[in-house]
Chains A and B, each alone.
Chain A
Amino acid sequence: MKTLVWVEHDGSAVKDATLAAVTAASKLGEVHLLVAGEGVDGVAKAASEIAGVGKVHVADNAAFAHNLPENVAPLVADLMGSHDAFVAPATTTGKNIAPRVAALLDVMQISEILSVEGPKTFTRPIYAGNAIATVESSDAKLVLTVRGTAFDKAAASGGSGTVEAVSAGGDAGISSFVGAEIAKSERPELTSAKIIVSGGRALGSSEKYQEVIVPLADKLGAALGASRAAVDAGYVPNDYQVGQTGKIVAPEVYFAIGISGAIQHLAGMKDSKTIVAINKDEDAPIFQVADLGLVADLFSAVPELTAKI
């Protein structure tokens, strides 16, 4: 089987989510990549060095600069003439593009796969991860999105793919990119961080989040996260949200501070290797999944932890 993996990048570097998608695709067969964007020579070179990749298709065109699905999906559908599976990371970009590709190919997509069980059989979460479905496609081609935390990352070096320019496609003329507010941060990204420190509604305010959560994260070199309740209350921006409707994370260590542990939140972090919970309510559901639990007032316990760790 020949797979075509969507390379998620920021214009200069390949994002980690791509590497997990490569691992998933390699379980199906040959791995070919698609790098779409404008001025993406550097990304294409980096992509060709990912272990185990074959051809790297590069579509360099201003119309692909912002991943507009109206422009990109026809390009992918065109390339799928010579591939058997389109594999995209389940990022907001992948989720935006893949179903549009699937419908153009008249294929029923399989979303957020957790494992590859056979050439057309996969597992995927349903009901916010409260159940796992094993599903089998009967379509001639496959369109898949891959949950990044469920697959190991392919090595970013050691490969020797061949770069090939694609001239197909262009601007469909129905959509345009206006602007973005992307948070710039020295911190590791939430979805690839080794340690995450998350705060919940118990913090009570944006100021307290800054005062209590941020110093611990600084000290540990951790990414910052939050529960939906904290995001909805306006303590932090929406891209901090960990949970079924936010980001799905699986770091080595996840600190849940002042987070009760709603199903919604657990669905986003329960695959973390070690979960540390600090909450003053000893009956909080978070303690049912925590490896290390501390029943304490976070406003005194967390600064003490920050000082002593």
Chain B
Amino acid sequence: MKILVPVKRVLDYNVKPRVKADGTGVDLANVKMSMNPFDEIGVEEAIRLKEKGVATEIVAVSIGPAKAQETLRTALAMGADRAILVQTDDAVEPLAVAKILKAIADAEQPGLVILGKQAIDDDNNQTGQMLAALTGWAQGTFASAVNVEGDSVSVTREVDGGLETVKLKLPAIVTTDLRLNEPRYASLPNIMKAKSKPLDTKSPADYGVDTAPRVKTVKVSEPPVRSAGVKVADVDELVAKLKAMGVHS
């Protein structure tokens, strides 16, 4: 079985985002960019399925600027077999990403597509579900466990009240949640080896997908700032203040 793992290049999760003074977005000039952490979990899960003998080939895909090659090389260094970069400098919305991935899925015929549940830049949480709709496949979102059993996959999902398990017919879409696994670091020899793994470059037009945005960003602003209150000296003062607010047993 082949597994497709889409990965997105985003602002590194350790970098504090800064809103640009002109309100057009978040400043991405000269800041560290990395693979979306949820996508890293997706790559790791695909590699584990290959190590278990369930998967035979892992194809990493990224839709983004030329520099997204670095993100794909990271996936290759972790253990993906080959990569496809759908190169564009435009911001591509989840619906258009899902359409491109649908075209790639048609060509590659994977048994599973494992995506991050959301990208930590625009926090949309849409692409996996949209791809599932376009392919007509079943979806197991917010996964904390994935088990392939014959022609189906059982996915344990993190839901509001706890956990839920669904059984999906393959091929299927899985989106990862944080506790699915802990991604490995690529070793130096694997980083070297990744440089010679195949990486194809395509464009959205190759897949016949129009990436013109449907949603216009009018402006981006700083969130309202919450100011610090007071420090109390001891528990007695805290109790008094809470009681004054009506908080008591």
Q: In this complex, what residue of B is CB-closest to A129?
A: B223
Report the separation of the CA atoms of residues A220 and B248 in the bound assembly, to the nearest whole angstrom.
6
Q: Does A157 contact B (CB under 8 A)?
A: no
Q: A287 with B223: in contact, given A109-B124, A174-B169, A220-B249 (CB under 8 Å)? A: no
Report the separation of the CA atoms of residues A111 and B219 in the bound assembly, to the nearest whole angstrom.
16
Residues facing A in B230-249 (CB within 8 A) are 230-232, 234-236, 238-239, 241-243, 245, 247-249
Count residues of A near B (Cβ-Cβ below 8 Å): 89
At the interface with chain A, which of B72-80, B157-165, B197-205?
Answer: B157-165
Residues facing A in B21-72 (CB within 8 A) are 26
Report the separation of the CA atoms of residues A195 and B126 in the bound assembly, to the nearest whole angstrom.
31
* Interface bits A228-268 vs B (CB < 8 Å: 1, else 0): 10001000011100001101000011000000000100000
Between A and B, how many residue pairs show CB distances below 8 Å? 249
Report the separation of the CA atoms of residues A68 and B164 in the bound assembly, to the nearest whole angstrom.
11
Report the separation of the CA atoms of residues A226 and B93 in the bound assembly, to the nearest whole angstrom.
33
Contact B226 A111 (CB under 8 A): no
Q: A276 with B238: in contact, given A92-B160, A109-B126, A253-B245 (CB under 8 Å)? A: yes
Q: In this complex, what residue of B is CB-closest to A295?
A: B231
The prevalent SS among residues of B at the interface is: mixed
Of residues A131, A139, A220, which shows the largest number of chain B Cβ atoms within 10 Å of its Cβ? A131
Contact A137 B168 (CB under 8 A): no
* Interface size range of chain B in the complex: 35 or more
Which B residues touch A308, using CB under 8 A?
235-236, 239
Which A residues touch B130, using CB under 8 A?
99-100, 102-103
Given A109-B126, A174-B168, A275-B226, 13 new contacts (CB under 8 A) = A69-B132, A70-B138, A101-B133, A102-B126, A137-B215, A174-B169, A232-B178, A238-B179, A239-B160, A292-B238, A294-B231, A294-B238, A296-B235
